[in-house]
Amino acid sequence: MVKAIVGANWGDEGKGKITDLLANDSDIVIRFQGGANAGHTIINEHGRFALHLMPSGVCHENIVNIIGNGVALDINKFIAEYNDICSQGLKPKLMVSDRVQVIMPYHVDFDKFEEERLGGKAFGSTKSGIAPFFSDKYAKIGFQVSELFDPDTLREKIGRVLEIKNALLVNLYHKDPIDADELTKEMLRQGELIKPFVADTQSFLYEAVKAGKNILLEGQLGSMKDPDMGIYPMVTSSSTLAGYGAVGAGIPPYEIKKIICVTKAYSSAVGAGAFVSEILDEDKAKELRDRGGDKGEYGATTGRPRRVGWFDAVATRYGCRVQGATDVALTNIDVLGYLDEIPVCVGYEIDGKVTKDFPNPALLSKAKPVFEKLPGWKSDIRGFTEFDKLPREAQDYVKFVEEQTGVHVSIVSTGPKREEIIRR
């Protein structure tokens, strides 16, 4: 069976932990979009892993982990992460699609230069080269990994692409042009490093699906960051939706039977863009930020503080809907144990009218939150594993999420560790 684990919100919902948990019964875990720009944190008996590019099954040695064709592959980061995992005593099984495209060094440079150029209007990019990479992919001047294995055609294509890149570098960003021979040498070096992992993963998956293997599609970020359904243009550059899992991995869409949408008991977001339920009082925000997650709500890749807010029922209902959620996994409920009352956003007020429907991005900037308060449970529920043992107010909070999203909450996470989990 093929399952997808995806985010309902702005990312950082705790997908890594849920994937690590469900990876237990999986044969294959696949990353199908995004790149090394977001991070998952996984804590298990082997240690604490901040994974940026690697699928979350890498901590299970019996699982085949695949970087699907839909990913932006940064080879240097892949190798660094691989070596790091190996140095912690693990031997992950990894395959990289022969159709995946690679991040070129200039993608990272352009990402940085463009954010500098935009100044106050910047997107808050992680500067991993993702936006320039996907622009090039769809402008058909990207490089599939297999193109790194033939020096002559690679040199010729790099020469052609650099005509465009150097014109921009010199004239728009006022930087030095790139030397085609040096870049070719570097990409051939990267090609050699990645070659042992490269395979026809599409055929491999075709056989795996036929054989009834358990396959997990692992999404990065969440619905709000999808280029079509999210808060455009403050989105990422590849689809974050389960539906794209079929394309970015190479699996028939009708094979995805379960879509587990992960959401947190509160909200967090990185980067700029509308965030209606954001906590604007800096002291209150800091309190939640420092209590959140495993080591506070600070980016796994960048270390930057995340914006935090209360649970947003409007955004989460919509987020689950566009994912096609069959299940919800609610994480970080333990974090809210310090509150007497828990505000939750149940509507958006736009031009004096309250709506429960998530608006399109043009209207979103006008939306003001309508909060309700739910009773807190004022106790530490970290590590609880049985729903019935939760304080009544915490049970009601889970049921509230269920009612608001219209989707069964089948998993409740009560702490960052694998075993801190309730299954319903």
Q: Active-site residue among 40, 52, 60, 107?
A: 40
Spell out the long-range contacts of 161-166 with Cβ–Cβ below 8 A and sequence spacing 24 or more: 161/136, 165/106, 165/110
| DSSP notation for 100-120 | -EE--HHHHHHHHHHHHHHGG
Minimum distance from residue 113 beta carbon to ligand GDP (Å): 27
293 scored as a contact of ligand GDP (CB under 6 A): yes
294 scored as a contact of ligand GDP (CB under 6 A): yes
Minimum distance from residue 318 beta carbon to ligand GDP (Å): 18
CA-CA distance, 7 to 223, in Å (whole number)? 6
Tokens representing residue 300 in the block: 């796994």
16 scored as a contact of ligand GDP (CB under 6 A): yes
> Which CB sits closer to ligand GDP, 243 or 293?
293
Minimum distance from residue 43 beta carbon to ligand GDP (Å): 6
Beta bridge partners of 2: 215, 256
> Which CB sits closer to ligand GDP, 3 or 40?
40
CB within 8 A of 415, min separation 6: which ones?
Answer: 334, 382, 383
Answer yes or no: 12 catalytic.
yes
Q: Among 10-18, 86-94, 224-232, 340-348, which window interacts with ligand GDP (CB under 6 A)?
A: 10-18
Tokens representing residue 356 in the block: 């429960």
Nearest to 363 by CA among 216, 182, 232: 232
334 scored as a contact of ligand GDP (CB under 6 A): yes
Nearest to 344 by CA among 407, 279, 286: 279
> Which helix (H) or strand (E) element contains residue 310?
strand 307-312
313-332 binders of ligand GDP (CB under 6 A): 331-332
364-423 binders of ligand GDP (CB under 6 A): 413-416
291-to-172, 287, 335, 337, 395 alpha-carbon distances in Å: 43, 6, 6, 10, 21
> Which CB sits closer to ligand GDP, 162 or 300?
300
Q: Which amino acid is at 289?
A: R
Interacting residue with ligand GDP among 12, 136, 226, 312 (CB under 6 A): 12
Minimum distance from residue 161 beta carbon to ligand GDP (Å): 32
> Which CB sits closer to ligand GDP, 23 or 180?
23
CA-CA distance, 266 to 332, in Å (whole number)? 8
Minimum distance from residue 67 beta carbon to ligand GDP (Å): 17
Tokens representing residue 36 in the block: 């090394």
Minimum distance from residue 206 beta carbon to ligand GDP (Å): 28
# of chain residues touching ligand GDP (CB under 6 A): 24
Residue 371 CB neighbour total at 10 angstroms: 13
Question: Would you say 250 and 30 are in contact if contact means Cβ atoms under 8 Å apart?
Answer: no
Answer yes or no: 52 catalytic.
no
Interacting residue with ligand GDP among 300, 344, 345, 390 (CB under 6 A): 300
27-56 binders of ligand GDP (CB under 6 A): 38-41, 43
Mode of pairing for the β-strands spanning 266-269 and 307-312: antiparallel
306 scored as a contact of ligand GDP (CB under 6 A): no
Catalytic amino acids? 12, 40
The residue ranges that bind ligand GDP (CB under 6 A) are 7, 11-17, 38-41, 43, 293-294, 300, 331-332, 334-335, 413-416
